[in-house]
């Protein structure tokens, strides 16, 4: 995606623009520099960073230049506080309302059900912690349920609720990463208030059976929150059809700005998450403070673009996934795709190169940007908690990396990734004692236990 070469046409456009705008006496200084920054951003968005293919779209995405352009006027020119009653405030409020409508359209929510937050992490905390505290106070429901494969932001909420004396259950999943509904049914009870789960797992791309999960919970009077950070703007999402109570999403995962997200809150549940004494004219009393107008505008524009490109992007990304997997498995053996091969978002591929370490592959494959599926913490080696919960064998789990494909990914970048990963794996396996043990047919479990892997 980004190479260090200069887009000459962009520079020419900037030069002509500067010459034109400096000749006019009507331009204000702030607007002048705002336009300069916008032009520079457009250049940077058309410039690529060395020969590195960016394949980490699940971590973050570049801000779409159209999104940036839509945001730009609200930093300097249209700078009003949307809480103000004068003209400047009204113009800013109109922009926020327009952005809310664009998000509402993407997920089929009502206007007042879309709440802007600082990101999915904050939305997750509002939906889980505030809801559980309210349900405990009003209905005596103090049992919170989530999956062992959840994102850290939800697991942090889980730890907090435990410390506050709530009952917490982490649900097990199968080796494919999917939740067994019989297991869910056996765990929930009359004190269960809320189930929270990832719509699409950020590490494996596994997509849960949302409709059946929601139906199972609602039959028992249990509310449901979906962390849709990796689903929002990428797959069709209809909160009314799915009958979700809460949903979280983040702007920077869908080519929008960082620092902005949304919480969908079904209108009948708004009372559960409102801040006591909050001004209901500001984000319906659910989030206080001055609304960041430029970020809201960016989030709305990103949602609008995602809505228009949804089907095209999904089809194209699925084809690139197949090209990637076929290209690697056609040249290497002992390759494993972690997670369900059927119920998944195609843009996230968690793949293991048995006999290698994920971090070593990343270091060797210098021309692609991907994420490791395993992690090192302090003095103890551990594997990903997601793969551990799926009971993936240690030697396979520690050899995993996450490749995530986006709308800007090209076939050439996929082919480069195949070449880099195949070459790196062959090189590392040639010097790997673990690979020798695997080829001999012996167990490698003892090797990893001695190295401190759990």
Helix (H/G/I), strand (E/B), else coil: 74 = helix
Residue 311 CB coordination number (10 Å): 9
Kindly write down the DSSP assignment for every residue of 4-52, as one continuous string. Answer: S---HHHHHHHHHHHHHHHH-SS--HHHHHHHHHHHHHHHHHT-B-TT-
Q: Does the annotation mark 63 as catalytic?
A: no
Nearest by Cα to 103 from 17, 9, 232: 232
In this structure, are residues 224 and 194 in contact, taking their beta carbons and an 8 Å threshold?
A: yes
Using an 8 Å Cβ cutoff, are 143 and 189 in contact? yes
**Other beta carbons within 10 Å of 393:** 18
Rounded CA gap, 403 and 368, in Å? 10
Calpha distance 431→448 (Å, rounded) = 17
Beta bridge partners of 179: 173
> Which of 45, 76, 157, 376 does the annotation list as catalytic?
376
**CA separation for the pair 338, 343 (Å, rounded):** 12
Active-site residue list: 376
């Amino acid at each position: 995606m980004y190479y260090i070469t200069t887009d000459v046409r962009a520079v020419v456009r900037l030069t002509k623009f500067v010459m034109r705008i400096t000749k006019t006496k009507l331009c204000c200084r702030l607007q002048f520099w705002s336009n300069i920054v916008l032009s520079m951003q457009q250049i940077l968005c058309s410039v690529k960073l060395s020969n590195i293919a960016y394949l980490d779209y699940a971590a973050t995405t570049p801000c779409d230049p159209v999104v940036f352009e839509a945001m730009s006027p609200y930093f300097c020119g249209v700078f009003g506080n949307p809480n103000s009653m004068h003209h400047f405030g009204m113009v800013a409020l109109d922009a926020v309302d327009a952005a809310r409508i664009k998000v509402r359209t993407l997920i089929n929510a009502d206007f007042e059900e879309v709440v802007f937050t600082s990101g999915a992490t904050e939305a997750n905390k509002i939906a889980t912690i505030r809801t559980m505290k309210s349900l405990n106070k009003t209905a005596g429901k103090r049992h919170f349920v989530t999956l062992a494969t959840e994102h850290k932001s939800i697991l942090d909420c889980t730890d907090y609720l435990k410390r506050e004396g709530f009952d917490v259950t982490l649900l097990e999943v199968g080796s494919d990463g999917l939740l067994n509904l019989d297991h869910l049914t056996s765990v929930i009870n009359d004190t269960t208030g809320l189930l929270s789960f990832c719509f699409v797992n950020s590490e494996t791309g596994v997509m849960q059976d949302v409709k059946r999960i929601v139906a199972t919970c609602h039959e028992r009077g249990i509310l449901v929150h979906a962390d849709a950070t990796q689903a929002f703007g990428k797959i069709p999402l209809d909160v009314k059809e799915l009958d979700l109570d809460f949903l979280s999403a983040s702007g920077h995962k869908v080519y929008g700005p960082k620092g902005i997200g949304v919480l969908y809150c079904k209108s009948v549940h708004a009372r559960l998450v409102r801040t006591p004494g909050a001004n209901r004219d500001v984000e319906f009393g659910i989030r206080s403070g001055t609304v960041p107008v430029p970020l809201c505008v960016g989030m709305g524009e990103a949602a609008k673009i995602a809505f228009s490109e949804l089907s095209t992007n999904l089809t194209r990304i699925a084809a690139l996934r197949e090209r990637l997997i076929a290209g690697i498995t056609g040249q290497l053996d002992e390759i494993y795709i972690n997670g369900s091969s059927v119920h998944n978002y195609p843009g996230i591929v968690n793949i293991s190169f048995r006999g290698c370490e994920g971090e070593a592959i990343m270091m060797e494959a210098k021309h692609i940007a991907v994420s490791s599926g395993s992690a090192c913490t302090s003095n103890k080696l551990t594997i990903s908690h997601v793969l551990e919960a799926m009971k993936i064998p240690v030697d396979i789990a520690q050899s995993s990396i996450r490749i995530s494909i986006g709308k800007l990914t090209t076939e050439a970048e996929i082919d480069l990734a195949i070449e880099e990963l195949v070459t790196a794996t062959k090189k590392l396996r040639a010097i790997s004692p673990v690979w020798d043990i695997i080829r001999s047919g012996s167990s490698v479990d003892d090797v990893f236990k001695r190295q401190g892997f759990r």
